[in-house]
């Protein structure tokens, strides 16, 4: 099962170049059953990424965000965070 990010890119009808992505969880940066989503986000040419919460997974926890920033993508953390934590 591909991650949400990968599915979103697969469903895109337009080029993601210069676009903005909204995700509730930080994109993963480790090789799991699927390739890391961070690589996909970076190679897509997105300009901004809004993330609600950092991935609590120790293999990620902020590293995905760091990689995005290092690639020159504007990262905004904390979008709707309270609402997301409450709905758990
Ligand atoms: Zn992922």
CATH code of the domain in which 26 resides: 3.40.140.10
Mean pLDDT of 1-23: 93
Domain that holds residue 59: 4-86
Catalytic residues: 5
Distance 66 CA to ligand 1 centre (A): 15
Domain count, the chain: 1
Q: Alpha helices, DSSP H only, in 1-88?
A: 4-11, 37-44, 63-70, 81-86
**Residue pLDDT, tens place only, 27-64:** 999 998 889 999 999 999 999 999 999 999 999 999 99
Task: Give residues with Cβ within 8 angstroms of 31, minimum separation 6.
Answer: none
Cα(43) to centroid(ligand 1), Å: 14
Does the structure show a pLDDT above 90 at 65?
A: yes
Separation of 28 CA from ligand 1 center, angstroms? 4
């Amino acid at each position: 099962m591909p991650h949400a990010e990968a599915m979103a890119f697969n469903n895109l009808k337009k080029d993601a170049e210069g676009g903005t992505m909204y995700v509730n969880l930080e994109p993963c940066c480790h090789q799991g059953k699927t390739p890391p989503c961070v690589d996909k986000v970076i190679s897509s040419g997105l300009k901004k990424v809004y993330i609600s919460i950092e991935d609590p997974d120790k293999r990620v926890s902020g590293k995905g965000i760091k990689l995005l920033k290092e690639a020159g993508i504007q990262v905004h953390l904390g979008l709707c965070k309270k609402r997301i934590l409450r709905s758990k």
